[in-house]
Chain A
Amino acid sequence: MRPPSPSIPEREFALSVLKQSLRLDGRTPLEMRMPAFRFGPELGWVECALGKTRVVAHVDAKMVKPLPERPFEGIITIHSELSPMASTEYEAGRLSEEEVLLARLLDKVLRRSDAVDKESLCILAGQRVWHLRLTLHFLADAGNILDCACLAGITALKHFRRPDVEVIGDDVTVHPPSSRAPVPLSINHTPLCLTFAFFIDPETPPILDPAQLEATLSSGSMTLAMNAQRELCVVQKAGGVPLPVDEILRLVEVGVQKVKELDVLVEAALQEDWKGRRIEVR
């Protein structure tokens, strides 16, 4: 059931607020909501919250036969389905436009950017590789569910530990976590997503991390996926608002700063959680 478009007072007020470079929740235009992480008892389960937007990401791994055209690489699949639990806008079973865009972007950012080294997932070439399955559950959508999902996904991949495997000749032994400490995945880089929303009125500045009303009233958006090493992984620009080149470059610079801060936050959260766990006894 699609929600009705915003009422006239909401639309006029929100646009006038944004024009004055203020926002409805008191943030500055280029300020992002502070992400909060909660790790589950299992390794590879993390709930990421950006304000009221919440996404749970969960990684699990099993051993399979590799694809015949790529016998040395593991397989990574991402499952993300929007259900009405996230918002009344989404219908169960019906593939909405937002869902398609979300799935495509998650695929580009988490899989095709080679964040996880697929060759390290190989156990026995041509016969056994790890199949990593990342499942995303969207609990609540209060705007910008895309960034939240990418953040949750990459944090879950960094949090996950796979069982240690010993290969002697053709003999594969999988050691359970009780006998040998599980091994982290080989993560090449940490891509993090930032979404900017644009408005038709040229005097309204672009905003970072739009909330729900802001996203509904925006006429275009740009998503940048970058890592802390100043590398651009994905640039996705949707909607018909024309942007001058210097504006895009300015936002990329802003993005670089934010990604550095976010990276520090993610690492700190992971370290904090790691201290509270007993994975190996030496």
Chain B
Amino acid sequence: MLMSGLVLPGDVIPNTSKSSLKLGPGLLQLSSTSSKHVISTRAGLLNQTANGSSFWVESNSRRYVPAPQEGVIGVVTARAGGGEAYRVDIGSAHPAQLDGLAFEGATKRNRPILKVGSLVYARVSLAHKDMEPELECFDAQTRKSEGFGELKGGFMVKCSLGMCRLLLNARHFLLPLLGSTFPLEVAVGTNGRVWIQSGEVKQIIIVARCIEAADPDGGRMDENQIKTFLQKIDP
């Protein structure tokens, strides 16, 4: 059973003096010589597990803060490091660095060349709040591409971070609903960007509008409302 309450940044969280505590996103532990307490760094709903051992804050926003092992969609903005690496914009405060050899099976003689302006689906390998994040285009364990790499064609839409988390959840209704209507290929980045590819231009526009409509920060429609919406825009 989960219990929740509204918190604002800077609020002190009660009942956190246990020795082994798991702090999830949105919480920070401040320790000084006199006291140790946990404060919230975001505005949102505070949740905790029933036995009070894990706490986290659920919130929605549009600005991305990079965290390691997250899949993100970036736009290549420049070639850096003497042509060996790429500078990629992932919507964070600092531009990210993607090494030219960070692809599956890439060697110095044989590696993909990305043009400025291309879209990539990459994994954040290094993220600290004061440094430039680093990206890699292969899975950490298997060292294979597993879907990472350049995204060709299609279209990219921006949405809130909460919407991305919903789309990544296999139990959310939207993508299966759209996928049952027409062929669809989607890449969801946790940085608030979604890449869409489908057979026809009109279908891509429909998917983009549905994502915007179901966004908790935008249309906030639920399943039935989306079905009505689909009837209206795709007769």
Contact = CB atoms under 8 A, between A and B. Distances in A.
Q: Is the interface of B mostly helix, strand, loop or mixed?
A: mixed
Given A20-B201, A24-B205, A9 B155 contact: yes
B75 A4 contact: yes
B90 to A, nearest CB: 11
Q: How large is the interface on A (under 10, 10 to 19, 20 to 34, 35 or more residues)?
A: 10 to 19
Given A4-B75, A22-B205, A9 B153 contact: yes
A202 interface: no
A173 interface: no
Contacts of A20: 201
Contact of B152 (A5, A9, A14, A26): A9
A254 interface: no
A273 B135 CA distance: 53
- Of A7, A8, A17, A22, most B-chain CB atoms within 10 Å: A7
Contact of B205 (A5, A7, A12, A26): A26
A216 B78 CA distance: 19
B81 interface: no
Nearest to A1: B93
Contacts, number: 46
A5 B204 contact: no
Given A9-B154, A10-B156, A13-B155, A4 B201 contact: no
B201 A24 contact: no
Contact of A22 (B77, B202, B212): B202
Contacts of A8: 115, 117-119
Given A4-B75, A26-B209, A26-B233, A9 B195 contact: yes
B136 interface: no
A17 B201 contact: yes
Contacts of A171: none
A182 to B, nearest CB: 39
Nearest to B88: A4
Contacts of A24: 205, 208
Nearest to B119: A7
B89 interface: yes
Nearest to A23: B205
Contact of A13 (B115, B204, B209): B204
Interface residues of B, number: 22
A111 interface: no
Interface string A7-33: 111111110110010101110000000
- Of A5, A22, A24, most B-chain CB atoms within 10 Å: A24
B13 interface: no
A54 B197 CA distance: 31
Contacts of B89: 4
Contacts of A9: 119, 151-156, 195
B78 to A, nearest CB: 9
Contacts of B119: 7-9
Interface in B155-192: 155-156
A16 B201 contact: yes
A25 B117 contact: no
Interface in B115-147: 115, 117-119
A25 B117 CA distance: 23
Nearest to A11: B117
A25 B209 contact: yes
A100 to B, nearest CB: 27
B144 to A, nearest CB: 24
A5 B117 contact: yes
- Of A5, A9, A22, most B-chain CB atoms within 10 Å: A9
Contacts of A4: 75, 77, 89
A229 B119 CA distance: 49
A16 B118 CA distance: 17
A147 B209 CA distance: 24
A17 B205 contact: yes
Contacts of A26: 205, 209, 233
A14 B155 CA distance: 8
B87 to A, nearest CB: 10
B187 to A, nearest CB: 11
B75 to A, nearest CB: 4
A80 B204 CA distance: 38
A22 B151 CA distance: 24
Contacts of A17: 201, 205
- Of B77, B117, B204, most A-chain CB atoms within 10 Å: B117
Given A4-B75, A9-B195, A22-B202, 13 more contacts: A4-B77, A4-B89, A5-B117, A7-B117, A9-B156, A11-B117, A12-B153, A13-B204, A14-B155, A20-B201, A22-B201, A22-B205, A24-B205
- The 5 A-B residue pairs whose C-beta atoms are closest, nearest first, are A13-B155, A8-B117, A7-B75, A4-B89, A7-B119
Interface of A: 4-14, 16-17, 20, 22, 24-26
